[in-house]
Amino acid sequence: MKYFLLLSFCFLFLQSNAQNSDSSNEPDSIKKSVLATYYHRKFEGRRTTSGAKYRAKKLTAAHRTLPFGTMITVTNPDNGKSVIVKVNDRGPFSKRLAIDLSESAAKQIGIYTKGVARVKLSYTLE
């Protein structure tokens, strides 16, 4: 009986460890609340740091540290609207701001007329 209990306990322990190690292979989603702004129209057609041309109608963003190509879900907590943008530039260069959105992205989540707004970022690093 003791051996049966011991074997059962070992089996359950090993099974729970296997499940935990499987879930650790999945990247964790990072969520932050930050201040955002958007590109001025004068940047239309200029080259971004990644080499792509800035287009106001595309859903792109600038971030100081995230790798180019990172997809970020940006949510306006005031109205619940979200947009997914792709990082293709560096900036903003003000320490209080975390992300610059394209004009189209800013319009979709309702911060275009505000200039600066608090948003929630959600992304996964691989």
Q: Per-residue pLDDT tens for 30-49? A: 999 999 999 999 999 999 99
- Tokens at 79, concatenated: 């109205």
Q: Which H/E stretch holds residue 18?
A: helix 2-24
Report which of residues 35 and 19 the model is more confident about: 35
Give the per-residue pLDDT at 27.
Answer: 65
Give the per-residue pLDDT at 20.
Answer: 45
Give rounded-to-5 percent helix, strand, coil for the chain. Answer: 25, 30, 40
Measured CA to CA, the distance from residue 97 to residue 64 in angstroms comes to 10
- On whether the CB atoms of residues 125 and 81 are closer than 8 A, the answer is no
Q: 19 pLDDT exceeds 70?
A: no
Instruction: Tell me the mean pLDDT in the region 103-107.
Output: 97
Report which of residues 18 and 37 the model is more confident about: 37
Say if 115 falls within a structural domain.
yes
> What is the percent of the chain where pLDDT is above 70?
79
Q: How many domains does the chain divide into?
A: 1
Q: Please, what is the end-to-end C-alpha distance for the chain in angstroms?
A: 47
Residues β-bridged to residue 71: 86
Q: What is the DSSP letter of 43?
A: G
Say if 68 falls within a structural domain.
yes
Give the per-residue pLDDT at 16.
Answer: 47
Say if 13 falls within a structural domain.
no
Say if 23 falls within a structural domain.
no
Lowest mean pLDDT among 24-33, 66-75, 117-126: 24-33
Measured CA to CA, the distance from residue 65 to residue 38 in angstroms comes to 17
Say if 40 falls within a structural domain.
yes
Residue 101's CATH number: 2.40.40.10
